[in-house]
Amino acid sequence: MSGLRLYALVYLAFLYAPIALLPIFAFNDGTVIAFPLDGFTLRWFRELPQTPALVASVRTSLWIAGSTALLSTVLGLCAARAGTMARFGGRDAMMGLIMLPLVLPEIIVAVALLVVLLALGLPLTGWTVIAGHTLICLPFSTAILGSAFRALDPALEEAGIDLGLGRAAVFLRVTLPLLMPGIIASLLITFTISLDEFIIAFFLTGTEPTLPVYLWGQLRFPQKIPVVMALGTILLVISVVLITLAEIARRRAAARATGIDSGA
Amino acid sequence: MPDQTNTDAEAAPAGRCPIIELSGAHKHFGDYHALRGIDLSVGAGEFFSLLGPSGCGKTTLLRTIAGFEALGAGRLVIGGRDMAGVPPNRRPTNMVFQSYAIFPHLDVGQNVGFGLRRSEGSRAQKAVRIGEALEMVGLAGYERRGAQALSGGQRQRVALARALILRPDVLLLDEPLSALDKKLREQMQAELRRLQRQVGITFVLVTHDQEEALIMSDRVAVMFEGRIAQLAGPQELYRHPASRRVAEFIGMMNFLPVIATGDTLEIAGLGRVPRAGLRSAAPDGQGPPEAGIRPEMFSILYPGEQTGRRTAQGTVRETAFYGDMTYYEVILDGTERPVTISMKNMPGRMILSPGTQARIAWDAESVTLFSAAW
Ligand SMILES: Nc1ncnc2c1ncn2[C@@H]1O[C@H](COP(=O)(O)OP(=O)(O)OP(=O)(O)O)[C@@H](O)[C@H]1O
Ligand SMILES: [Mg+2]
């Protein structure tokens, strides 16, 4: 085995081994997070639905993530369209601005938003979290949809117009169906980002904590930790599934828009 | 640069009323002047080609007619209606795109029926029309095929059916055959021509292949750098090119220096001819004139063969056998640059090998005088 390959393996192990601990202790029949293990149990998973605050936070997170996904995908669609197809002054500056949250530390974004919201006198609710999450999700949806637009042969839209349809009809009957895999990828990715996000949610949330915020609060109580790990395991599985689906959708979008026959 | 456009040919040919009339058309892309004053008139039912090298503005001109590019200056009239401000979906034109632009998410039937409006009959009536359109392009029964599973030639046919089903006044085709291999291309050339006669729709074809333009078209506009250099029928274009540049672009032509001028000219390697009998392409007085003559207008005589034609002497330098034809490179006595001579291979005719002395026959009528500067 070459040195580089060994390095890569060790690197990956350091990166992902802690995540493997999550399911291990979620099924461990003991409250202490330490080896040796005490035996297999589903107890912690059974305890999950019996914690009302936890169920409420899951519900909050789901609707915040859903709204964020919808909002940032619609906005990303507009931005990607303008960024790839239109020619106007300040376009590059606009695209740069949209991508900015990608490189800004989240804590700075969160504090800045909090200051603005307080200055405006707006109450902190689920909507303020959605606004913050949309801000940090927009670079992702814009990038995903931008590549979907770039893969689209512009002659397809022109052909739609040439065949007698108006711009709106062409968008609905040609552009949207061809972008659909990209749109689905964007929805899944932004949903996942919002579901996992902690810092902005922590600063901007009102009386209804999101799931990550609730979990962070529970870490102070050692006897609750196995339950948290059980929940973490479920979230891990959901995240992996969503990201995998998003990647499949994204690849299909690329293949479809260019007309490359990938499967059949 | 002199205007070498053949003004007589700009008008639609006799017996056809004009369907497209374009006058003084200019188009700028930023600083780039893509169309520099185009005047042309296409007759109804005509097969019209735009021919020119890459970047000369053929696609731009076609997209202008389709309505995807607005004219900077000039006037476009289609079917008697001024097209200023009319969007592509309201023009009586349809386009076959170079990439074919087949909708990948729809099947063949849905592609072909894409432009049919909801008002245009019932589902069953539309299905019949789609079937007819597919039959016309030789794809009967392909309705349920996925667009992704089509070959290049089939895509092109779907694109044709999708446009023709709408019965436009004008069908615009942007290099529709350039993506096909040679055999299929030749087959589609004949088929397009047959289809055009059958439906009687005006076709405007963009191509950079001069052979294709000659084979298929009623008339051809040769374009260089955003201008029309010559607009004429295929025979006129080949026999009477308006400039040296057109002559070089259409087919092959030999150019020989003209040594002495006056009432009697001396063409290098060919000898003296009276000026009066020769056709001139460009106006005189622009640099030294040259004599142009096509390869097939020479013939190599059998040893001892009698002829009433003019003759010259030369030496074969190179022989290229093409099956039906043989191409010779011959150095005429007293010259250095070889001329190309093509001979049909006939029974009893020997293929000459390099180094052979040859007697060559030619006629003053097949010579065109060009000014070296254009
Ligand atoms: N949208 C555009 N923006 C800027 N320049 C353009 C645009 N479209 C065309 N041009 C320029 O105009 C010129 C003519 O382009 P056009 O596509 O009409 O050429 P063409 O004759 O069709 O060539 P080809 O045979 O390569 O397709 C080219 O120099 C091209 O770079
Ligand atoms: Mg072109």
pLDDT at B372 over 60: no
| Confidence class for position B15, pLDDT limits 50, 70, 90 | low
- What chain B residue is nearest to A162 in terms of C-alpha separation? B89
Nearest by CB to A164, which of B68, B89, B146? Answer: B89
Determine the length of chain A: 264
Tens of pLDDT, residues A27-53? 888 777 777 777 788 888 888 888 888
Q: What is the pLDDT of residue B259?
A: 81
- Ligand 1: residues with CB < 6 A are B 29, 32, 34, 52, 54-60, 208
Average model confidence (pLDDT) for chain B?
89
Q: Let me know if domain A61-84+91-263 sits in CATH 3.40.50.300.
A: no
A231 is written with which tokens? 């929940």
Amino acid (one-letter) located at B106 = L
Helix boundaries (H) for B67-151: 108-112, 123-136
Average model confidence (pLDDT) for chain A?
86
Instruction: List the one residue out of B154, B153, B167 whose CA is nearest residue B199.
Output: B167
The reply to whether B101 touches chain A by the CB within 8 Å rule is yes
Start-to-end CA distance of chain A, whole Å, equals 39
Tens of pLDDT, residues B35-45? 999 999 999 99
CB contact under 8 A, A163 and B89: yes
Tens of pLDDT, residues A137-181? 999 999 999 998 998 888 999 999 999 999 999 999 999 999 988
Contacts of A246 (CB under 8 A, 6+ apart): A184, A185, A186, A188, A189, A192
| Confidence class for position B8, pLDDT limits 50, 70, 90 | very low
| Among B49, B58, B177, residue to substitute to test ligand 1 (most atoms within 8 Å of Cβ) | B58
Amino acid (one-letter) located at B99 = S
Q: Quick check: B266 and B260 in contact, CB under 8 A?
A: yes
Burial grade of A83 (CB within 10 A; 0-12, 13-18, 19 or more): buried
Q: What is the pTM of this model?
A: 0.81
H or E element in which residue B227 lies: strand B227-232
A76/A98 Cα distance (integer angstroms)? 9
Residues with CB under 5 A from ligand 2 (ion): B 59
A62-71, A182-191, B7-16, B259-268: the lowest-pLDDT one? B7-16
pLDDT at B11 over 80: no
Contacts of B218 (CB under 8 A, 6+ apart): B13, B43, B46, B47, B48, B233
B171/B136 Cα distance (integer angstroms)? 15
The reply to whether A87 touches chain B by the CB within 8 Å rule is no
pLDDT at B341 over 90: yes
Contacts of A3 (CB under 8 A, 6+ apart): none
Q: What is the pLDDT of residue B84?
A: 92
Whole-angstrom CA distances from B309 to B297, B298, B306, B342 are 11, 10, 9, 17
Q: Quick check: B350 and B319 in contact, CB under 8 A?
A: no
Q: Quick check: A63 and A126 in contact, CB under 8 A?
A: yes
| Residue A74 Cα, gap to closest chain B Cα (Å) | 22
Q: What is the pLDDT of residue B160?
A: 94
Q: Which atom of ligand 1 is nearest to the CA of B57?
A: 18
| Confidence class for position B14, pLDDT limits 50, 70, 90 | low
Tens of pLDDT, residues B191-243? 999 999 999 999 999 999 999 999 999 999 999 999 999 999 999 999 989 88
Whole-angstrom CA distances from B45 to A35, B169, B174, B194, B295 are 87, 9, 18, 13, 34
Q: Quick check: B243 and B374 in contact, CB under 8 A?
A: yes
Instruction: List the one residue out of A148, A154, A177, A196 whose CA is nearest residue A19.
Output: A196
Tens of pLDDT, residues B280-338? 886 544 667 889 999 999 999 988 888 899 999 999 999 999 999 999 999 999 898 89
Tens of pLDDT, residues B42-82? 999 999 999 999 999 999 999 999 999 999 999 999 999 99
Residue closest by Cα to atom 16 of ligand 1: B57
Determine the length of chain B: 374
Tens of pLDDT, residues B19-34? 999 999 999 998 999 9
- What chain A residue is nearest to B101 in terms of C-alpha separation? A156
DSSP code of residue A37: P
Torsion of CA A65, A70, A74, A80, to 10 degrees: 50
DSSP for A52-99 reads HHHHHHHHHHHHHHHHHHHHHHHHHHHHHHHHHH---TTHHHHHHHHH
B334/B271 Cα distance (integer angstroms)? 10
Q: Taking the domains of chain A in order of start, what are their residue ranges? A: 61-84+91-263
B353/A114 Cα distance (integer angstroms)? 92
| Residue A159 Cα, gap to closest chain B Cα (Å) | 6
Tens of pLDDT, residues B112-141? 999 998 777 788 899 999 999 999 999 999
DSSP lists the bridge partners of residue B20 as: B42, B78
Q: Quick check: A148 and A216 in contact, CB under 8 A?
A: no
A199/A194 Cα distance (integer angstroms)? 11
The reply to whether B321 touches chain A by the CB within 8 Å rule is no
Q: Which atom of ligand 1 is nearest to the CA of B206?
A: 22
A103/B125 Cα distance (integer angstroms)? 58
CB pairs under 8 A between A and B: 61
| Residue B107 Cα, gap to closest chain A Cα (Å) | 13
3-state secondary structure of B339: strand
Q: What is the pLDDT of residue A186?
A: 93
DSSP for B260-275 reads E-SSEEEETTTEEEEG
Q: Between vectors from CA A67 to CA A64 and to CA A69, what angle results, nearest 5°?
A: 105
Q: What is the mean pLDDT of residues B152-164?
A: 93
B297 is written with which tokens? 């207008």
Q: What is the pLDDT of residue B7?
A: 43
Q: Quick check: B316 and B360 in contact, CB under 8 A?
A: no
The reply to whether A224 touches chain B by the CB within 8 Å rule is no
Instruction: List the one residue out of A53, A23, A71 whose CA is nearest residue A210.
Output: A53
Rg of chain A, C-alpha, whole Å:
22
Q: Quick check: A146 and A78 in contact, CB under 8 A?
A: no
Spans of chain A, pLDDT less than 70: 1, 253-264
Burial grade of A56 (CB within 10 A; 0-12, 13-18, 19 or more): middle
| Among B49, B59, B71, B98, residue to substitute to test ligand 1 (most atoms within 8 Å of Cβ) | B59
Domains of chain B: 252-370 (2.40.50.100)
Residue closest by Cα to atom 29 of ligand 1: B55
Start-to-end CA distance of chain B, whole Å, equals 7
Q: What is the pLDDT of residue B286?
A: 60
